[in-house]
């Protein structure tokens, strides 16, 4: 008897899940959005956003016009810098910087070569537009490195040493080994980060949209008088949307990230999908909560955006946890994306197994249970 009740319970859930999938596949707009997110959006993120300096436009004010100044200028070269030519004065430089047409201006003083040859200390000026902090900082540090390198080479020349004899100088060399992403390819980091963000958006958005649509069309009323429990109404939406999101994730990994960006998957893909499923389930709880407080699809979208912001900011994707004030570091514990990003990179790039992930896994599971129960509880209060 008990087992037949159990089977009936699941039979109802399955019937509802099939219904959700049918409805989704008959909604061309929603389908187009999902396809776009998992393909074009991730592709653009991987291809478009660079954290290395790339083709930063530079102009030069060369007051010296010597071999040394030319040598220095020559070192500002592609792919990092794009030398746009020479200008004559500060006024013009300021003007171009103001208009945002160039990122930096290198100012080489008169007697640059003469002073260098005399062994005097010489300063060059670099004016950088840092209204975009990331670009500005990158340009500054690259430029510093170039000038320092130029200075070192010049010093060695004067000491009569060739470039190969650098070992005989008392210089500390910084040899860093880049782990996990040896070539520091941005597209790996960016595309995975975008994929995880897309999963976050859709796992809030899709179940919430499916639930609120029942409200909008009044179909919820018919379900409320049926023998379905609130959980049987909500669970199918989460199951159906999770399936769609997992399918989308697979498409994104195997058709975009792996073949296009050549991501070497270090860990187990199966584990990654399992973690993703857990994450979608956890985040859909937030979606269900959104559905209970909104009356229309429009309100759902607004609330998703509203909640997405703190989830992203607290996820550690943009700022490492260590750089956050203590209070916010605590708050990160309630951003499900924090755990997901950590586990996602750990599995895909570092090849981590369950043993390494168990703390994050536990955190995400707890968070998921809290969110999901809260969503169902709100829904039950509204329609139960």
The window from 6-14, 152-160, 268-276, 312-320 that contacts other proteins (CB under 8 A) reads 6-14
Would you count residue 96 as binding other proteins (CB under 8 A)? no
Joined tokens for residue 87: 């200008």
Q: How far apart are CA 337 and CA 352, in angstroms?
A: 18
Would you count residue 210 as binding other proteins (CB under 8 A)? no
Strand order in the sheet with 125-128: 81-86, 56-62, 104-108, 125-128
Among 88, 125, 157, 219, binds other proteins (CB under 8 A): 219
Query: H or E segment at 61?
Result: strand 56-62
The window from 19-27, 175-183, 204-212, 369-377 that contacts other proteins (CB under 8 A) reads 19-27
Shortest reach from residue 304's CB to other proteins, in Å: 22
Would you count residue 211 as binding other proteins (CB under 8 A)? no
Shortest reach from residue 378's CB to other proteins, in Å: 17
Joined tokens for residue 47: 């291809």
Joined tokens for residue 160: 């009569």
Q: How far apart are CA 153 and CA 159, in angstroms?
A: 10
Nearer to other proteins, 1 or 67 (CB): 1
Would you count residue 234 as binding other proteins (CB under 8 A)? no
Would you count residue 90 as binding other proteins (CB under 8 A)? no
- What distance lies between CA 285 and its chain's CA centroid? 23
User: Nearest CA to 72 among 88, 63, 52?
Assistant: 63
Nearer to other proteins, 25 or 254 (CB): 25
Among 227, 270, 320, 325, binds other proteins (CB under 8 A): 227
Joined tokens for residue 151: 């200075």
Nearer to other proteins, 23 or 365 (CB): 23
Asked whether the beta carbons of 34 and 202 are under 8 A apart, the reply is yes
Asked whether the beta carbons of 234 and 384 are under 8 A apart, the reply is no
Shortest reach from residue 32's CB to other proteins, in Å: 16
116 exposure class (CB count in 10 Å sphere: 0-12, 13-18, 19+): buried
DSSP state at residue 163: G
Would you count residue 137 as binding other proteins (CB under 8 A)? no
The window from 9-17, 51-59, 86-94, 369-377 that contacts other proteins (CB under 8 A) reads 9-17
164 exposure class (CB count in 10 Å sphere: 0-12, 13-18, 19+): exposed
Would you count residue 382 as binding other proteins (CB under 8 A)? no
Among 71, 86, 92, 221, binds other proteins (CB under 8 A): 221
Would you count residue 220 as binding other proteins (CB under 8 A)? yes
Would you count residue 12 as binding other proteins (CB under 8 A)? yes
Shortest reach from residue 381's CB to other proteins, in Å: 13
Q: How far apart are CA 93 and CA 86, in angstroms?
A: 10
Would you count residue 117 as binding other proteins (CB under 8 A)? no
DSSP state at residue 185: -
DSSP state at residue 119: T
Would you count residue 224 as binding other proteins (CB under 8 A)? yes
Q: How far apart are CA 144 and CA 150, in angstroms?
A: 10
The window from 7-15, 107-115, 167-175, 328-336 that contacts other proteins (CB under 8 A) reads 7-15
Shortest reach from residue 31's CB to other proteins, in Å: 12
Would you count residue 27 as binding other proteins (CB under 8 A)? yes
Would you count residue 33 as binding other proteins (CB under 8 A)? no
Would you count residue 16 as binding other proteins (CB under 8 A)? yes
Asked whether the bond before 79 is cis by omega within 30 degrees of 0, the reply is: yes
Size of the site for other proteins (CB under 8 A): 22
60 three-state secondary structure:
strand
Residues in contact with other proteins by CB under 8 A are: 8, 11-12, 15-16, 19, 22-23, 26-27, 217-228
């Amino acid at each position: 008897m008990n087992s037949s009740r159990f089977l009936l319970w699941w039979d109802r859930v399955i019937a509802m899940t099939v219904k959700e999938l049918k409805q989704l596949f008959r909604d061309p707009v929603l389908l187009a959005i999902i396809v776009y997110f998992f393909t074009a959006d991730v592709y653009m993120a991987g291809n478009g956003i660079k954290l290395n300096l790339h083709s930063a436009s530079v102009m030069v004010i060369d007051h010296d016009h010597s071999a040394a100044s030319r040598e220095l200028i020559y070192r500002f070269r592609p792919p990092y810098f794009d030398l746009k030519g020479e200008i004559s004065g500060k006024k013009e430089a300021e003007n171009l910087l103001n208009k945002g047409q160039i990122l930096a201006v290198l100012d080489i003083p008169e007697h640059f070569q003469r002073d260098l040859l005399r062994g005097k200390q010489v300063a060059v000026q670099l004016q950088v537009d840092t209204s975009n902090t990331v670009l500005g900082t990158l340009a500054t540090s690259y430029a510093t490195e170039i000038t320092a390198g130029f200075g070192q080479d010049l010093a060695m020349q004067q000491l009569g040493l060739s470039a190969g004899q650098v070992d005989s100088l008392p210089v500390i060399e910084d040899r860093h080994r880049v782990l996990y992403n040896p070539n520091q390819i941005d597209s790996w980091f960016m595309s995975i980060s975008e994929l995880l963000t897309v999963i976050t958006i859709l796992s809030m958005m899709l179940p919430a949209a499916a639930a609120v649509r029942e409200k909008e069309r009044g179909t919820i009323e018919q379900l409320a008088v049926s023998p379905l429990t609130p959980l049987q109404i909500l669970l199918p939406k989460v199951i159906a949307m999770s399936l769609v999101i997992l399918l989308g994730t697979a498409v994104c990994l195997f058709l975009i990230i792996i073949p296009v960006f050549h991501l070497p998957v270090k860990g187990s893909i199966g584990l990654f999908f399992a973690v993703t499923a857990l994450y979608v389930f956890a985040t859909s709880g937030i979606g269900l909560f959104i559905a209970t407080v909104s009356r229309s699809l429009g309100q759902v979208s607004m609330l998703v955006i509203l909640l997405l912001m703190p989830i992203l900011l607290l996820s550690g994707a943009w700022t490492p946890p260590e750089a956050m004030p203590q209070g916010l570091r605590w708050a990160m514990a309630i951003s499900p994306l924090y755990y997901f990003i950590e586990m996602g990179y750990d599995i895909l790039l570092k090849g981590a197994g369950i043993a390494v992930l168990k703390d994050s896994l536990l955190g995400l599971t707890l968070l998921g249970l809290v969110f999901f129960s809260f969503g169902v509880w709100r829904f039950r209060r509204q329609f139960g």
